[in-house]
């Protein structure tokens, strides 16, 4: 018999590519404006900003090719194709030089965003939580172990909607590299095994509507294909 007064929530997890094993997810961190062309398209100067972070709850994960219900409370759901790092260990004040030792694997992700709520939050100086951390906002594909594929520092990242190219870039274009991101984030929180880091999106973000099919691919990390379905709430 458990002492819990209600059933504890299930552990969020991702499949491991080429295996029946699962990667358990603890927290989901995201980096803002980490590609210069995307920072510019959002009206910011890419040269001056240190990295900044927001997060999503672990149970916002949409795993692999599962359908994504169009979220409530928005008329501007936007896609952001991103490289996701999955940590196998963590720590505080991690040195960038050894930071990749913390990375267990990599995946393809979509940092779904209620852009209208984000725009209002920016204007009013409010938190981004409801713009970024809503149910179903963290699409993520299978985790490819670094032990098998290494630590990718370059590679094509692209996103198509209904077969039309919307985003195309290279992960080598990140303003802050993954080791720099881990070092900066670990000065703010203690990172731990199971943490995911969404590393930012290249330019070309845009709106989605129910019925759209979103395909995201990163060289060496396969492809995630999501169908946007009608609102569930
Ligand atoms: Mn993003």
- pLDDT tens for 51-74 read 999 999 999 999 999 999 999 999
- pLDDT at 39 (0 to 100): 87
pTM, rounded to two decimals = 0.97
The answer to the question of residue 155 being in a domain is yes
Q: What's the gap in Å between 53 CA and the centre of ligand 1?
A: 10
Residues within 5 Å of ion ligand 1, judged at the Cβ atom: 80, 111, 201
- pLDDT at 53 (0 to 100): 98
The answer to the question of residue 97 being in a domain is yes
- pLDDT at 48 (0 to 100): 67
Q: What's the gap in Å between 54 CA and the centre of ligand 1?
A: 9
Q: What's the gap in Å between 31 CA and the centre of ligand 1?
A: 6
Mean pLDDT of 193-216: 98
Q: What's the gap in Å between 74 CA and the centre of ligand 1?
A: 17
* Residue written as token pair 């699962």: 22
Q: Contact 158/164 with Cβ under 8 angstroms?
A: no
Q: What's the gap in Å between 140 CA and the centre of ligand 1?
A: 13
| pLDDT cut 70: percent of the chain above it | 99
Q: What's the gap in Å between 1 CA and the centre of ligand 1?
A: 42
Mean pLDDT of 99-125: 98
The answer to the question of residue 41 being in a domain is yes
The answer to the question of residue 4 being in a domain is no
Q: What's the gap in Å between 77 CA and the centre of ligand 1?
A: 13
- pLDDT at 1 (0 to 100): 66
Strands 213-218 and 156-161, sheet pairing: antiparallel
Q: What's the gap in Å between 18 CA and the centre of ligand 1?
A: 27
The residue among 195, 11, 174, 199 whose CA lies nearest residue 92 is 195
Q: What's the gap in Å between 4 CA and the centre of ligand 1?
A: 36
Domain range holding 142?
13-229
Q: How many domains does the chain have?
A: 1
Q: What's the gap in Å between 64 CA and the centre of ligand 1?
A: 18
The answer to the question of residue 33 being in a domain is yes
H or E element at residue 208: strand 206-208
Whether 121 shows a pLDDT value over 80: the answer reads yes
Whether 32 shows a pLDDT value over 90: the answer reads yes
Q: What's the gap in Å between 30 CA and the centre of ligand 1?
A: 6
Tokens standing for 157?
Answer: 């990242």
Give the span between the Cα atoms of 119 and 126, in whole angstroms.
Answer: 10
Mean pLDDT of 23-47: 92
Tell me the pLDDT of the chain averaged across its residues: 96
What are the DSSP calls for 92-137, one per residue?
SS--GGGGGGGEEEEEEEEE-EEHHHHHHHHHHT--SHHHHSSTT-
Q: What's the gap in Å between 129 CA and the centre of ligand 1?
A: 13
Mean pLDDT of 115-122: 98
The CATH code of the domain that includes 33 is 3.90.850.10
pLDDT, tens digit, 9 for 90 and up, residues 123-177: 999 999 999 999 999 999 999 999 999 999 999 999 999 999 999 999 999 999 9
Q: What's the gap in Å between 231 CA and the centre of ligand 1?
A: 22
> 231: burial class by Cβ within 10 Å (0-12, 13-18, 19+)?
exposed
The answer to the question of residue 1 being in a domain is no
């Amino acid at each position: 018999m458990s002492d819990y007064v209600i059933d504890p929530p299930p552990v969020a997890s991702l499949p491991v590519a080429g295996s029946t094993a699962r990667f358990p997810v603890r927290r989901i961190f995201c980096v803002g404006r980490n590609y210069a062309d995307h920072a510019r398209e959002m009206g910011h100067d890419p040269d001056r900003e240190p990295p900044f972070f927001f997060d999503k709850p672990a149970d916002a994960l949409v795993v692999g090719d599962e359908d994504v219900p169009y979220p409530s409370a928005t008329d501007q759901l936007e896609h952001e194709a991103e490289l996701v790092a999955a940590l196998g260990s963590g720590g505080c004040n991690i040195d960038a030089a050894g930071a990749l030792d913390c990375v267990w694997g990599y995946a393809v992700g979509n940092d779904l965003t209620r852009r209208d709520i984000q725009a209002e939050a920016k204007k009013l100086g409010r938190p981004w939580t409801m713009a970024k951390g809503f149910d179903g906002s963290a699409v993520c594909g299978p985790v490819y172990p670094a032990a098998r594929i290494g630590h990718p520092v370059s590679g094509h990242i692209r996103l198509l909607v209904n077969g039309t190219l919307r985003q195309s870039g290279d992960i080598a274009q990140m303003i802050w590299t993954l080791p720099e991101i881990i070092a900066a984030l670990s000065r703010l929180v203690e990172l731990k095994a199971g943490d995911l880091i969404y590393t930012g999106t290249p330019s070309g973000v845009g709106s989605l509507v129910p019925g759209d099919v979103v395909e995201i691919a990163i060289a060496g990390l396969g492809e995630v294909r999501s169908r946007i379905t009608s609102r569930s709430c």
